[in-house]
A and B are shown apart, each in its own frame.
Chain A
Amino acid sequence: MRSLASIAVLVLAVGLLPLFVSSGVTLGFVTMVLYATLLGQAWNILGGFGGQFSFGHAVFFGTGAYAMAVLQMRFGLNAWAALPCAIALGGVAGTLLGALSFRYGLRGSYFALVTLAFAEVFRILANTFDFTGAGVGLQLPLQEGAAQLQFATETGYLYLALALATVSLLFAWWLKHSRYGAWLAAVRDNEDSAAALGVNAFRVKLVAITVSGALMAAGGAFYVQKFHYIDPHLAYGAPISVEALLSAIIGGMGTVFGPLLGAVVLHGLGELTRNSLSSTPGASLVIYGALLVLIIMFMPRGIAGLFEGKR
């Protein structure tokens, strides 16, 4: 219940923030942290709670992003109608990828490589077809207004990101307090034992990757609405997969607030390095890498592990 109260406090604090802060930079920062929380939580549900490490979560992000853009631009759908479709398509992509890889018992690095391969295949496909704008990408026409899910100020995007991030946090909270969550943790820790206790590991993993894919697709859809542009590399490239897993691992895998903490640290660090190291390209990547190594060596349970006491 304590974490549920924390989620409520977060929603309230961020919800009231625009009343006290008018700086677009600050609101933009909070928006991006919430967006990164959503991506991290999407990865965390499958990787942290379910123990299935994906290196290719971009496959779901890109599917959501392209679905959002294509449905509006090619099929004339309203953005509010396109959003649930994009999320559902991300879920379907998750189910299909999961059915394929879990049916054949792929685990550990094999599963990671398969997800990576899928993201790469989709990147090449998106690069090829005119339907998706090929290598040029798709530019979403500017139509500001809440009815179009495009906003003139940061506040609108802040609330959209808050809503999506909150859904992901609530799902993670539910995992900690439900039978399904117990089954998922059992499958993560020992699949044979789980099976002996009546747990259908295949189905449990399939549900996890479906939800994970849907949330990641929501992130992709958000990206398109916020930046009005998507191309194959942004959608299906490695950086987005890495961003999702980094915030979850740094913050604490399998914890409700890990992705949020990781997102705060990563984006905070990103701001610092952008200001001080702007003359050295690639410096921020080196810092991310070093941070990841340090966290894995000294804090294997992430930042959230520090708060949960010893175990």
Chain B
Amino acid sequence: MLAARDLAISFGGLKAVSGASLTVPAGKITALIGPNGAGKSTLFGLVSGFLKPDRGSVALEGREIVGMKPHAVCRLGMTRTFQIVQPFAQQTVRENIAVGAHLHIGGRKAALAAAEAVAQRVGLTAQLDKPAADLTVAGRKRLELARALATQPRLILLDEVLAGLNPQEVGEMIPVLRGIRDSGVTVFMIEHVMQAVMNLAEYVWVLAQGELIAQGLPGEVTSDEKVIEAYLGHGTAARLKAEAAHG
């Protein structure tokens, strides 16, 4: 579905992403994990056209898309959500979602009706006529997801849509995300909530300090030494092993 090759970008002297190559298989949920500041959101920016890579290429369904503007990428069937939610605050939830629906629907009435259907999918029906500014954190995350879904993407990039939700809200979102996958949309998600990663992801990429250090099934990567070290610090894996041997 999506293939990135040797992507790199630096901000000033900081190499935020350096030589990342990865693939996202069609029809599955793939997760991108890694410690804070690893460069995950930057990588999303690179593949979706918001950031211009210093080098490297991105192919969407075999088509080269590096250098394309975000709106053009969206028209090809790939859209993203933002880690820091960016609602159209002055507009109602319905109007917010309709902007996404308008990508393929010209008529205003039809787009507003489509927005209602999408709201139902993500559980926002009760909030449809509220201004987006009045939503709770959980509501805004749902709205971010709903707007993206309304563009009828084939691939959706979700940047921490579960962050800031309480465990109950996370529990409610998991079937929603699975439902999106089941409807035929490929999902590529950045996630810190491990409960969700273990539950949802069929494949996992691990990014640390701008480099992809591991990949595999959720169970595999979470027991990978390099991954444990990246999260918990150098030497941790050895210490854990030693402790396990003693205990």
List the interface of chain A (C-beta within 8 A of B): 177-179, 182-183, 185-186, 189-190, 192-201, 311
- Asked whether B10 is an interface residue with its Cβ less than 8 Å from the other chain, the reply is no
A178 to B108, CA, bound (A): 5
| A198-B74 in contact given A179-B108, A182-B111 (Cβ < 8 Å) | yes
Apart from A192-B50, A196-B50: 6 A-B pairs, beta carbons within 8 A: A179-B102, A179-B105, A179-B108, A182-B98, A197-B150, A200-B71
- Asked whether B218 is an interface residue with its Cβ less than 8 Å from the other chain, the reply is no
B70 proximity list for chain A (CB < 8 A)? 192, 195-196
Assess whether B131 is in contact with A193, with CB atoms less than 8 Å apart: no
A36 to B91, CA, bound (A): 28
B151 proximity list for chain A (CB < 8 A)? 197-198
Assess whether A190 is in contact with B75, with CB atoms less than 8 Å apart: no
Within the complex, which residue of A189, A196, A200 is in contact with B90, where a contact is CB–CB below 8 Å? A189
The CB with the most chain B CB atoms within 10 A, among A189, A194, A199, is that of: A189
B74 proximity list for chain A (CB < 8 A)? 195-198
- Asked whether B247 is an interface residue with its Cβ less than 8 Å from the other chain, the reply is no
| A198-B82 in contact given A182-B98, A183-B102, A189-B91 (Cβ < 8 Å) | no
- Asked whether B147 is an interface residue with its Cβ less than 8 Å from the other chain, the reply is yes
A311 to B93, CA, bound (A): 13
Assess whether A197 is in contact with B100, with CB atoms less than 8 Å apart: yes
- Asked whether B107 is an interface residue with its Cβ less than 8 Å from the other chain, the reply is yes
Within the complex, which residue of A179, A182, A189, A195 is in contact with B71, where a contact is CB–CB below 8 Å? A195
In the complex, per-residue mask of B92-107: 1 if CB is within 8 Å of any chain A CB, else 0? 0001001110110111
A189 to B105, CA, bound (A): 21
Assess whether A189 is in contact with B111, with CB atoms less than 8 Å apart: no
The CB with the most chain A CB atoms within 10 A, among B48, B86, B131, B150, is that of: B86
Closest to A197 in B: B100
Assess whether A185 is in contact with B108, with CB atoms less than 8 Å apart: no
Assess whether A186 is in contact with B99, with CB atoms less than 8 Å apart: yes
From residue B216, how far is it (CB to closest CB) to chain A in Å? 30
- Asked whether B79 is an interface residue with its Cβ less than 8 Å from the other chain, the reply is yes
A198 to B79, CA, bound (A): 8
| A311-B50 in contact given A193-B88, A196-B82 (Cβ < 8 Å) | no
A192 to B91, CA, bound (A): 16
- Asked whether B238 is an interface residue with its Cβ less than 8 Å from the other chain, the reply is no
From residue B3, how far is it (CB to closest CB) to chain A in Å? 21
Assess whether B131 is in contact with A189, with CB atoms less than 8 Å apart: no
| A190-B71 in contact given A179-B106, A197-B99, A197-B148 (Cβ < 8 Å) | no
Assess whether A189 is in contact with B148, with CB atoms less than 8 Å apart: no
A185 to B131, CA, bound (A): 14
Assess whether A189 is in contact with B75, with CB atoms less than 8 Å apart: no
B111 proximity list for chain A (CB < 8 A)? 179, 182
Assess whether B107 is in contact with A179, with CB atoms less than 8 Å apart: yes
From residue B50, how far is it (CB to closest CB) to chain A in Å? 7
Q: Can you pick out 5 interface pairs between chain A and chain B where the beta carbons lie within 8 Å of each other? A: A195-B70, A197-B150, A197-B151, A199-B99, A200-B71
Assess whether B71 is in contact with A177, with CB atoms less than 8 Å apart: no
A34 to B198, CA, bound (A): 64
B99 proximity list for chain A (CB < 8 A)? 182-183, 186, 194, 197, 199
B residues 67-91 near A (Cβ < 8 Å) are: 69-72, 74-75, 79-82, 86-91
A198 proximity list for chain B (CB < 8 A)? 71, 74-75, 79, 100, 103, 151
Assess whether B131 is in contact with A196, with CB atoms less than 8 Å apart: no
A192 to B51, CA, bound (A): 12
From residue A46, how far is it (CB to closest CB) to chain B in Å? 17
Assess whether B79 is in contact with A182, with CB atoms less than 8 Å apart: no
Assess whether B71 is in contact with A186, with CB atoms less than 8 Å apart: no
A185 to B102, CA, bound (A): 13
B107 proximity list for chain A (CB < 8 A)? 179
Assess whether A190 is in contact with B88, with CB atoms less than 8 Å apart: yes
The CB with the most chain A CB atoms within 10 A, among B72, B75, B99, B105, is that of: B99
A197 to B111, CA, bound (A): 13
4 nearest A-B pairs in the assembled complex, by CB-CB distance: A198-B74, A189-B88, A195-B70, A198-B103
Assess whether B89 is in contact with A189, with CB atoms less than 8 Å apart: yes
From residue A187, how far is it (CB to closest CB) to chain B in Å? 10
| A182-B102 in contact given A189-B88, A190-B87 (Cβ < 8 Å) | yes
From residue B191, how far is it (CB to closest CB) to chain A in Å? 19
